[in-house]
Structures are given as structure tokens and as C-alpha cells.
Amino acid sequence: IGHSGGYPGHITRTWCDPKDGLVVSVLCNASDAAATPLCGGIFSLLEHLSHPDERIPGHADGVDPRSFTGHFNT
């Protein structure tokens, strides 16, 4: 379920998944902003995080994701 709207200089997008009780709203202060892709990306990320038992396609077994976290300098 979704809704979008705008006003001069602003645009919004809201998506709702009543089954999981998840709602994401993105409000942008630019009428040409990418509210829909931003909302979709946030929604997808939260959907994935709300189902931690599901595997990510292509996930490598035995790889410790902590090796990819931290502070890195170049």
C-alpha cells in the first residue's frame, strides 16, 4: 500500500506493509528528489532486517561479515 504527494518544492512517498506492520515515509524538500527510490530502498532494507532467518541469495558460507566493518583509512 502506498501514497505519494507533493507541494511546490517538496515531494513525499509512503509505503505500508500491513502484514508486517511496517511503514516507511520519505519527505524531501526538493520537488525533483528521488522520494520513491529512497522509500523503496529503505523499505526493502527494513523488510530484510525484519526476517533475519531468510538467507541472502549469493551469501558465502563461512565469511565473517565483521571483517568488513570498522574504520578504514586510505
27 occurs within a structural domain: yes
Residue 72 domain-assigned? no
pLDDT tens per residue across span 2-33: 888 888 889 999 988 888 888 889 999 998 89
pTM: 0.60
Within-domain flag for 18: yes
* Secondary structure class of 50 (helix, strand, coil): coil
Range of the domain at 9: 1-38
Number of domains within the chain: 1
Predicted local confidence at residue 60, as pLDDT: 64
- Helix, strand, coil % in the chain, rounded to nearest 5: 25, 30, 45
The answer to whether residue 16 sits within a structural domain is yes
Tens of pLDDT along 55-74? 556 556 677 777 777 777 76
For 40, phi then psi, to 5°, come to -60, -40
Q: Is 51 contained in some domain?
A: no
